[in-house]
Chains A and B, each alone.
Chain A
Amino acid sequence: MRYFLRKIGFLLLTVWVAVTLNFVLPRLMPGNPAQAMMAKFAQQGPVSPSQEKALELMLGLPTGSLWSQYWSYLGNIVHFNFGTSYSYFPESVSNVILTALPWTLILVGIVTILQFVVGTLCGVYAAWNRGKKFDSTASVMLSFTAAFPYFWLALALIYFLAYLAKWFPISGGYSGSLHPAFQWSFIASAVYHSILPAITIFATGIGGSLLGMRNNMINTLGEDYILLAKAEGLKNRVVALRYAARNALLPIVTNFAMSLGLVVGGSLLMETVFAYPGMGYLLSTAVSNQDYPLLQALFLCITVSVLVANFIADLISGLLDPRLRRGATTS
């Protein structure tokens, strides 16, 4: 019990530190949001001096001491009130995030899980058939694709498959002529638009899961109980999956939980290149627009989801592995 209480204490403390950092970081940025928003207008031509003043008035930039801003910020978080977005003014931050969140959760989430499952299974297979053709080809090829810069792969896919071959749309989340709805034509369009982004995440991510699992599995396969199981004449498949893979998976669970938590943040570079309407693209535009309220809420969403995912993973591994509970400081 002490182990779990300790973990909860840590969770709360970390949330508080992260929340406070969220508050501080955007305020360290130079200039104010009105100036940042002027960038949009300034690129189309010289701007008039009174424009910026009017904008500042309209946005109602935070006033009062930092301390009082901080308290009202904490109070608002407790009530899930993140205020009004500057760049989407007068839309509320919660609405803006709710619009972007499903895109990221569905695309990045599905691909992350898929990539984990496929990568892990391939890792098991590669470890079991160690040194054989599949093992060497897959681990070399996938280590290579894992080293691709995200944005670069995305650019290459757009150029060759979307622009030249015209097989896929160039950017976006769905056809602009459709209304988002739970309908076949819309879903088809969304899936069609998500293929290239999905390939980008899948290709750059799968190498990691494969190699991680492969190496853990090789270790496990050397353990005595596996050798014993083999000696007892259990079927290869049973040994591989039921004994070896299960144990090899344990240390990976934490990392998987973490990556699931990170899903909420989307895939910033990928989404930016594809102009995909998810959290990552939202985050990158929020940074350049200096949209503090949106930025804070986004950081908070990501931080909290990673924390919670981590916490759950900790609990699970604590339950599965009693040794961890005894050495309570181990994470």
Chain B
Amino acid sequence: MKLDSLNSESFVNGASTTTGLSSAKAEEAKQAGAFRIVWSNRKARFGIIVLAIFVFIAIFGPWLAPYSISDTHFPTSMGPSAAHWLGTTQTGQDVLTQLLCGARVSMFVGFLSGAIVIAIALTIGFVAGYFGGWVDDVLSMLMNVMLVLPGLPLMILIASYIPSHGIWEIILVMSLTGWAFGGRTLRAQMLTLSRRDYVIAARFAGESPLRIIFREILPNSLSYIIANFFGAVTGAILAEAGLEFLGLGNPSITSWGTMIYWAQNGDALLEGQWAWVLAPGLCIALVASSLTFINFGIDAVANPRLQED
């Protein structure tokens, strides 16, 4: 699925490595053992630790930061020094402080958009896959259209249309444009599961579709959904950074993407302030890859063959 994102500009960066080929085994995986399986995977363990560190920073960033985020009275455009580990911006702010405080916005936008994307994808994918027939035809076509429209340009277009560029607008734009890929994979998953014997049995027993979906299907594809969720979050974090880099975010809010935007506008590289550009990008890459690493473990839950020996 990652191939979709050869161009990682397409929204669902698809860091999910789930293959879904043998989700039959997934159903047998006991939820209780799931975390143990994930944790036993070294890559996933590494990912969890990295992610935990960043979640900690996102929550406590402003307290960890050496200075106040609103403090603009340092000497401007300085390279890294003892007082300012990552230097200062051209408006006299401490880069490390921005980095620590910016984590919150970047992670929040990424996770919330990822969640919304998955919620939409889940609803549409499951409805299409479960009911089939014309419902599936219509929804599939919707998904296909969303899939073939170029993602980032579409986001840029919509983002330019929106008059103000707050956090919520960015989340909205990404959610609207990003769900199709997940929708398609989840629909395929639904198709497979809804033909399982126990689902068919439940149908014959006259159980309501909602009950079947929530009681039978959802629990059995949980790991699959989580993997897709992490993939969507990775995509959202990268897409957010891309939009902000192009100046379509709210430049008054400090996030990793806007930091790179301002670094670029302040010609940070020209002034030799590589730390100002590199640090936020590295944080984005670390968070995004930590999710990929965790997915190694989640894939192993869904598919025991992928478990590490």
Whether A14 contacts B238 by the Cβ 8 Å rule is no
| Chain A 1-38 per-residue mask, 1 if CB under 8 angstroms from chain B, else 0 | 00000000010011001100100011011100000000
| Chain A 235-276 per-residue mask, 1 if CB under 8 angstroms from chain B, else 0 | 000000000000000011001101101100101110010000
Q: Which of B132, B144, B242, B289 contacts A143 (CB 8 A)?
A: B289
Whether B293 contacts A143 by the Cβ 8 Å rule is yes
Contacts of B156 in A (CB 8 A): 284, 287
Contacts of A259 in B (CB 8 A): 3-7
* Contact residues of A between 108 and 136, Cβ < 8 Å to B: 112, 115-116, 131, 136
Contacts of B22 in A (CB 8 A): 219
Whether A331 contacts B8 by the Cβ 8 Å rule is no
Residue of A nearest to B278 (CB): A156
Contacts of B197 in A (CB 8 A): none
Asked if B301 lies at the interface with its beta carbon under 8 angstroms from chain A, I say no
Asked if A211 lies at the interface with its beta carbon under 8 angstroms from chain B, I say yes
Whether B21 contacts A216 by the Cβ 8 Å rule is yes
Contacts of A310 in B (CB 8 A): 144, 148
B20 to chain A, nearest CB (A): 9
Known: A212-B17, A287-B160. A219 touches B284 (CB 8 A): no
Please report the C-alpha to C-alpha distance between residue A201 and residue B9 in the assembled complex, in whole angstroms. 11
Q: How many residues of B contact A (CB 8 A)?
A: 69
Asked if B179 lies at the interface with its beta carbon under 8 angstroms from chain A, I say no
Q: Which of A144, A149, A211, A252 contacts B281 (CB 8 A)?
A: A149
Whether A331 contacts B292 by the Cβ 8 Å rule is no
Q: How many residues of A contact B (CB 8 A)?
A: 75
Dominant SS at the B interface? Answer: helix
B85 to chain A, nearest CB (A): 19
Asked if B152 lies at the interface with its beta carbon under 8 angstroms from chain A, I say yes
Whether A204 contacts B153 by the Cβ 8 Å rule is no
Please report the C-alpha to C-alpha distance between residue A300 and residue B4 in the assembled complex, in whole angstroms. 19
Contacts of B52 in A (CB 8 A): none
Please report the C-alpha to C-alpha distance between residue A208 and residue B6 in the assembled complex, in whole angstroms. 7
Whether A306 contacts B132 by the Cβ 8 Å rule is no
Residue of A nearest to B162 (CB): A30
Asked if B58 lies at the interface with its beta carbon under 8 angstroms from chain A, I say no
Whether B3 contacts A252 by the Cβ 8 Å rule is yes
Please report the C-alpha to C-alpha distance between residue A217 and residue B254 in the assembled complex, in whole angstroms. 43
Asked if B14 lies at the interface with its beta carbon under 8 angstroms from chain A, I say yes
A309 to chain B, nearest CB (A): 9
Whether A18 contacts B148 by the Cβ 8 Å rule is yes
Please report the C-alpha to C-alpha distance between residue A216 and residue B154 in the assembled complex, in whole angstroms. 32
* Contact residues of B between 142 and 185, Cβ < 8 Å to A: 144-145, 147-150, 152-154, 156-157, 160-161, 163, 184
Whether B3 contacts A258 by the Cβ 8 Å rule is yes
Please report the C-alpha to C-alpha distance between residue A18 and residue B148 in the assembled complex, in whole angstroms. 8
Residue of A nearest to B47 (CB): A143
Whether B19 contacts A215 by the Cβ 8 Å rule is yes
Contacts of A161 in B (CB 8 A): none
Residue of A nearest to B307 (CB): A218
Whether A302 contacts B19 by the Cβ 8 Å rule is no
Whether A208 contacts B152 by the Cβ 8 Å rule is no
Binding site for A on B (CB under 8 A): 1-10, 13-15, 17-19, 21-22, 43, 132, 136-137, 140-141, 144-145, 147-150, 152-154, 156-157, 160-161, 163, 184, 188, 191, 234, 238, 241-242, 245-246, 260, 264, 269, 274, 277-278, 281, 284-289, 292-293, 296, 299, 303, 305-306, 308-309
Q: Ordered nearest first, which 6 A-B pairs have the shortest CB separation?
A: A208-B2, A255-B3, A152-B281, A147-B288, A147-B289, A259-B6
